[in-house]
Amino acid sequence: MVLEGKVTGITKFGAFVELPGGKTGMVHISEVAPTFVKEIRDYVTEGQTVKVKILNIGEDGKVSLSMKKALPPAPRGQQAHRPGRPGNYEWQASRKSEPSSFEDMMSNFKKASDEKMSDLKRCMDSKRGGFSRHGGQSR
């Protein structure tokens, strides 16, 4: 159930919201926004009217609320692209309008792979602090 309530207090771990009927619930900092919230006061202020969804009413009468679950769902086409997802390969991004042969695609992939491996090895060697693979310090 989504309701409107008034923010009555803010702590470092959440915000207290007065619901219709005089009942008060708490929005935990992790339920304020769909992104990481470091400082809750960047998102809400005391006296502000907010939409909240009731998550749980405990046996002790405590009401757990969520602001982020009260938001309408984002349209599928507007979701942010996340790196590392399937289909996000460099060799695919360099496609041309004319068809490439399989050998050309493999050659480009191998070249990119070799470059990445040499960069990785160079980085790892610099992190070793001058020690060789076989133990002892290189001179």
41: domain CATH number is 2.40.50.140
Residue 41: predicted pLDDT:
92
Q: Can you give the pLDDT of all 139 residues of the chain as single tens digits? A: 889 999 999 999 999 999 998 899 999 999 999 999 999 999 999 999 999 999 998 899 899 999 999 887 766 655 544 444 444 444 444 444 455 677 887 888 888 888 888 777 777 776 666 555 555 555 5
The range of the structural domain enclosing residue 102 comes to 90-127
With respect to residue 83, please indicate whether it lies within any of the assigned structural domains: no
The answer to whether the pTM exceeds 0.85 is no
Residues 94 and 53 grouped into a single domain: no
| H/E stretch holding 15 | strand 14-18
CB 43, CB 7: distance < 8 Å: no
- Strand 24-28, strand 63-66: pairing: parallel
With respect to residue 133, please indicate whether it lies within any of the assigned structural domains: no
Task: Look at residues 61, 57, 82, 68 and name the one whose alpha carbon lies nearest to residue 14.
Answer: 68
Total domains present in the chain: 2
Using DSSP, how many helices (H) and how many strands (E) does the chain show? 2, 5
Residues 59 and 117 grouped into a single domain: no
Please count the residues of the chain.
Answer: 139
Backbone angles phi, psi at 70, to 5 degrees: -85, -10
Residues 98 and 66 grouped into a single domain: no
Residues 30 and 59 grouped into a single domain: yes
- The alpha-helical segments, DSSP class H, found in 1-139 are 90-93, 102-127
Residue 108: predicted pLDDT:
82
Task: Look at residues 57, 43, 51, 42 and name the one whose alpha carbon lies nearest to residue 20.
Answer: 51
Residue 137: predicted pLDDT:
57
